[in-house]
Structure 1
Amino acid sequence: MKKHLTFACAVLSLILISGCKLPTRISSQNLSYIYKTEDQSIHPIFTVFHVNDSLTRIHYKLNSAELLYSKKNHDQYIANVTMHATLVDAYEYETIRDSLTHRIEHLGNNAVQQLITGTFNVHAVSGKNYLLAIKTTDVNRGESALSYIEVNKEKQAGAQYYRVLESRKNLDILRRYTGNDEEITIQSGIPNTDSLFVRFYDRDFPLPAPPFSIVNPKAFSYRADSVFYLPLNTEHKLTTTLHKTGFYHFQADSSTQNGITLYSFGDNYPKVANSEGLIGPLRYLTTQQEYDHMMGEANPRMAAEDFWRGSGGSDERSRDLMHKYYSRVENANRYFTSYIEGWKTDRGLIYIIFGPPNVLYKTSSGENWIYGEEHNALSLQFTFTKVDNPFSENDFTLNRSPMYKNSWYRAVDTWRQGRIY
């Protein structure tokens, strides 16, 4: 379908709610739906930019194809969307710091896919962090999606003090990864800055160990593989392309670790589209010998298909297995991208093998995943601890334990026997 860009005609209404509280803390709510976005009808995307010490701007994108348009008059159709945003201190806190409702009225129809973009502001003072809960509702359809955005204003000159835009269209890029040939523009929101210091890291990180394997990870060396400066223009912007695969840390002040990190994982990321994308995630299901054999094959795609055909027993079954497995790989890339690809993270490992959890609790310090019924002794539970990482706000490490050994091999054997776990 032909794509058009349309900026939403929006009405912003601010509700003054000083002293009000949420009905229940977000940390006590089951948030498992955030990793089951295929079950949602609308998929808004958000990013944060700090305008000044008291104001923060939220940029968003919506796909018009996901909205229901109703007839306004004889030749016009309209979609109605509301975004109700509530700012609290953290997942564990109930006191509301700010709240607003952003309304979008978009003229169009469901025959032509359009990109709807816009912004709204929240009041957040610097020196502390917050959590922004956003309920996006397609009013005509009566369906909603909930999003939780961390607003990080404790550290000056952190990642949310920068904007990243697609240079040719001058549109905000609401993600931290770029293609190798994608021209981007970075805008610094930090005053009195005429250039950005860039540290480039080209590192080969190992795949995560199984959940029962107690590991002592090698300490990360902050010494960059290369460093350079990029000048800012009079609008505090620079344009560049991240040709080399790796991650780039942009800083206004190189004496600190604060800055924004952008990841270059190839033009097709987060999709699975090369030999590493096909065979790499199979390491979670194979022995080292099997994996080395597939990596050495002249045709990696055929080697991967042979593995799945051997597991599924038929072409149809193997296609079903491949579709489900690599869909989880791609979802892991979308949900869990950090300084490494999402499928290579601890959460990616568990998500790919076990699927999305039945119950998910989030706090400021981590996530708790439950497979099965809550408070059931037979249920499986994984705890992930958030890592203070200057290159990512999305880095979590699994609390490993020998108790996971039987559950892990049971899940792996299920996949290898041609059944989706």
Structure 2
Amino acid sequence: MTTKTITKKIQLLLSTLVLSFTCSLVGVAQQSLESTNQALRYSRYSRISLKIIPIQESSRDFVLQMPIEKLEDNASFGDYNFYFTILSGYNQTFADENLTKLEENDLKLNTQNHFYFEQKIKIPEEQNVAIAFLKVVDTRQGDEYYYHVDLISPFVLGHPNFGAYFGNNIPFDQNFLIQEEALLFKTKGPVSLHTFYYPTKFDSPYPPMEIKPAPVPREIKVEDQGDFLANTPRNFDDYGYFFIQSDTNSTQGLMIKTVPQAFPRVESWEEMVDMVVYISTRKEHEALLEAQDKKLALDKYWFGLTKDEEAAKTLIREYFRQIEFANILFTDFKEGWKTDKGMVYTVMGPPNGVTFRLNAEIWTYGNLDSNSKINFTFARVKNILTPNYYTLNRSRALQPEWFKSITLWRSGRMDF
């Protein structure tokens, strides 16, 4: 055998080994919360909506309620693969083979509107950060949906030790509750729960390039509504938000935001006037606020932007569709459209990229591989009412893209 032949055989063997190694890497592609694009979480065309609701039974013991809402008709369990795990950090890598697959016999309930799983887990004493992670793959087209929630982290003050449920025993998985509707609170411990009511209303946020801090109310009104019996339905008749606790000396509790019957849609002409603040000039908005006939003023406003009746109708429909999605996705103790995320979502549309770090959530618009992409960074803020409270890092550098999007809206050319 010649030296040349031996060399070729060695090269062929090396090529085979490299190809085999590369294929094995593809087969176990590693992801982390910091690298995984979770844009489908905020898509207007998602087929399902994921949620993890922790019930904290002790400092290290949790029941994970995992209701998965069916946004498409006649959803079948076989259309999806379901996985979950507990991560110890946002940079911890994972692959499907490291996740626990949830089978059909793991379902606690399968209703017309939900797949519902429930898992009990215990976090090791030495683990300082614990993140519950849920992944669902649409087997028909390969779409991957993700959801995560911190169980133990510097941004979590504790989770409630009781659950809130709709009448069909599906956990309360929405960001809001329609006024006068009831929830059933189930607890294994105390016979009663305590209610604090906050009738506070909030203004819309400053735009992304406004770097001066928004005014903060010196006092937030709160009413102590006392105890109510657990394991019985509880109505919420007032508008605002409530904080439910089993122990008022702890930081653990559940926030319930109540909203009008029409929510997440627009309720009145006055509300519509408030909502157009994001794409209006200050002069236009002040004129709308001062107008006696809000409907007439709004008709003139929308027609004035497009100079075309059909284009104006399309613009109205698309703008308030964005408002509706913002309300569904981002409501916390504020209506979704009044949050920083809701403002950006309304004007810029759904982000192309969504990634998470322990202390931030980053939205990317534009081609993810392009130098021309723009990022909106939402800083995570520790808050007793919710473990998922974020505020936008404002910067004058965001102004060009912001004004560009507003111009597209005002010309009737914004299209998601």
TM-score normalized with structure 2 length = 0.80
Determine the structure 1 residue equivalent to 2:82: 83
Determine the structure 2 residue equivalent to 1:56: 63
Determine the structure 2 residue equivalent to 1:34: 41
Determine the structure 1 residue equivalent to 2:234: 240
Amino acid at match of 1:418: G
Structure 2 contact 157–251 (Cα < 8 Å) conserved: no
Aligned equivalent of 2:225, options 225, 228, 242:
228
SS of the residue corresponding to residue 81 of structure 2 reads strand
Amino acid at match of 2:210: S
SS of the residue corresponding to residue 303 of structure 2 reads helix
Amino acid at match of 1:125: I
Determine the structure 2 residue equivalent to 1:336: 330
Structure 1 contact 176–261 (Cα < 8 Å) conserved: no
Q: 1:153 to 1:370 in 2, by over 3 A?
A: closer
Tell me how large the CA RMSD over aligned residues is: 3.2
Determine the structure 2 residue equivalent to 1:73: none
TM-score normalized with structure 1 length = 0.79
Q: More strand by proportion, 1 or 2?
A: 1
CA-CA distance at 1:281 after TM superposition:
1.8
Whose radius of gyration is greater, 1 or 2?
2
Aligned equivalent of 2:32, options 15, 18, 25:
25
Determine the structure 2 residue equivalent to 1:72: none
Amino acid at match of 1:32: A
Determine the structure 1 residue equivalent to 2:280: 286
What is the CA–CA distance in structure 2 between the aligned matches of 1:389 and 1:43, rounded to whole Å?
A: 24
Determine the structure 2 residue equivalent to 1:108: none
Structure 2 contact 161–246 (Cα < 8 Å) conserved: no
What is the CA–CA distance in structure 1 between the aligned matches of 2:348 and 2:146, rounded to whole Å?
A: 23
CA-CA distance at 1:366 after TM superposition:
0.9
Identity of aligned residues (%): 20
Cα distance per residue 1:278-327 (max 9 Å; x no partner): 22220111133322332344553443343222222222212221222112
Cα distance per residue 1:206-255 (max 9 Å; x no partner): 211111111223445575421122233xxx42432221111111122222
SS of the residue corresponding to residue 149 of structure 1 reads strand
What is the CA–CA distance in structure 2 between the aligned matches of 1:243 and 1:129, rounded to whole Å?
A: 38
CA-CA distance at 1:392 after TM superposition:
1.9
SS of the residue corresponding to residue 27 of structure 1 reads coil
CA-CA distance at 1:260 after TM superposition:
0.9
Bigger mean CA deviation after superposition, 327-336 or 82-91? 82-91
1:102 aligns with 2:119: no
What is the CA–CA distance in structure 1 between the aligned matches of 2:185 and 2:92, rounded to whole Å?
A: 33
Determine the structure 1 residue equivalent to 2:23: none
CA-CA distance at 1:145 after TM superposition:
4.1
Determine the structure 1 residue equivalent to 2:214: 217
Determine the structure 1 residue equivalent to 2:136: 136
Q: 1:151 to 1:377 in 2, by over 3 A?
A: closer
CA-CA distance at 1:157 after TM superposition:
8.3
CA-CA distance at 1:126 after TM superposition:
7.7
Amino acid at match of 2:180: D
Determine the structure 2 residue equivalent to 1:109: none
SS of the residue corresponding to residue 135 of structure 1 reads strand
SS of the residue corresponding to residue 197 of structure 1 reads strand
How is 1:20-419 mapped onto 2 (pairs within 5 angstroms)? Answer: 23-38=30-45, 40-50=46-56, 53-63=60-70, 65-67=72-74, 81-94=80-93, 99-104=99-104, 114-125=112-123, 129-137=129-137, 139=139, 141=140, 143-153=142-152, 158-166=158-166, 168-188=167-187, 191=189, 193-219=190-216, 224-232=221-229, 236-374=230-368, 376-419=370-413
What is the CA–CA distance in structure 2 between the aligned matches of 1:275 and 1:195, rounded to whole Å?
A: 41
CA-CA distance at 1:331 after TM superposition:
1.3
Moved beyond 6 Å, runs of 4+: 95-98
Cα distance per residue 1:189-211 (max 9 Å; x no partner): 5x3x2332222112232211111
Cα distance per residue 1:82-138 (max 9 Å; x no partner): 312122123222269984222238xxxxxxx93344323152428755333323345
CA-CA distance at 1:362 after TM superposition:
1.1
Determine the structure 2 residue equivalent to 1:75: none
Determine the structure 1 residue equivalent to 2:25: none
CA-CA distance at 1:56 after TM superposition:
1.9
Unaligned runs of 5+ in 2: 1-27, 106-110
Structure 1 contact 132–149 (Cα < 8 Å) conserved: yes
CA-CA distance at 1:170 after TM superposition:
4.1
SS of the residue corresponding to residue 209 of structure 1 reads coil
Cα distance per residue 1:311-364 (max 9 Å; x no partner): 222222122212221121111112211210111111111111111222222111
Unaligned runs of 5+ in 1: 1-20, 70-77, 106-112
CA-CA distance at 1:261 after TM superposition:
0.8
Bigger mean CA deviation after superposition, 407-416 or 120-129? 120-129
Q: More helix by proportion, 1 or 2?
A: 2
